[in-house]
Amino acid sequence: MWLLSGKGEKYGEAHSYINYPWNGNGQYSTTEPTYVEQTWDAYVKLEYNDYWNKAAEAHTHPIHVGVGMYSPKPSTIANSADEKQNDEYSSRIMKIPIYVVTDQGIWKITPTGVVTQEEDEHWIDEFEKDECE
């Protein structure tokens, strides 16, 4: 997903779902990452029933933070021009946490609107190391 986003260089978002382990091996699976030029096109148009096996959603935010609307943190209803086009609203509708991946860290927003930083900017050090191996 991070590579699909151009390591955050593209202005759109790459996203993927983390699915519950229904295959009996106890391992979560992910959907194939997709990239959208326009945010909000891909995942918020699904119907609620499409989320029944989803444990979480993860997507990138562009690294061009401070430019326009881009931020490394999940967007909230309070800081969005449109109350339905933000990570908090999507998390509430889907009833799952949403993770936002940037070069500045990995953040999570819950369906109740609680935002936490799950990883700092050093997560990328492991990613770069693994990518080279």
Tokens of 118: 């799950």
Q: In the prediction, which pLDDT does 43 show?
A: 46
**Per-residue model confidence as pLDDT tens digits over 13-69:** 888 888 776 655 656 666 666 666 554 444 444 444 456 678 888 988 887 655 555
Contacts of 37 (CB under 8 A, 6+ apart): 11, 12
Contacts of 44 (CB under 8 A, 6+ apart): 84, 85, 89, 90, 93
Tokens of 84: 């339905």
Q: In the prediction, which pLDDT does 41 show?
A: 42
Q: Is the pLDDT of residue 117 over 90?
A: yes
- Cβ 56 vs Cβ 97: under 8 Å: yes
Q: Distance between CA atoms of 97 and 85, rounded to whole angstroms?
A: 16
**Per-residue model confidence as pLDDT tens digits over 54-81:** 888 898 888 765 555 567 889 888 877 7
Q: Which of 6, 58, 52, 4 is nearest to 30 (CA)?
A: 58
* Average pLDDT of span 74-92: 83
Q: Is the pLDDT of residue 12 over 80?
A: no
pTM of the model: 0.79
Give the 3-state secondary structure of residue 3: coil
* Average pLDDT of span 103-132: 86
Q: Distance between CA atoms of 94 and 70, rounded to whole angstroms?
A: 22
Q: Distance between CA atoms of 56 and 126, rounded to whole angstroms?
A: 22
- DSSP code at position 113: -
Q: Which of 79, 120, 99 is nearest to 28 (CA)?
A: 99
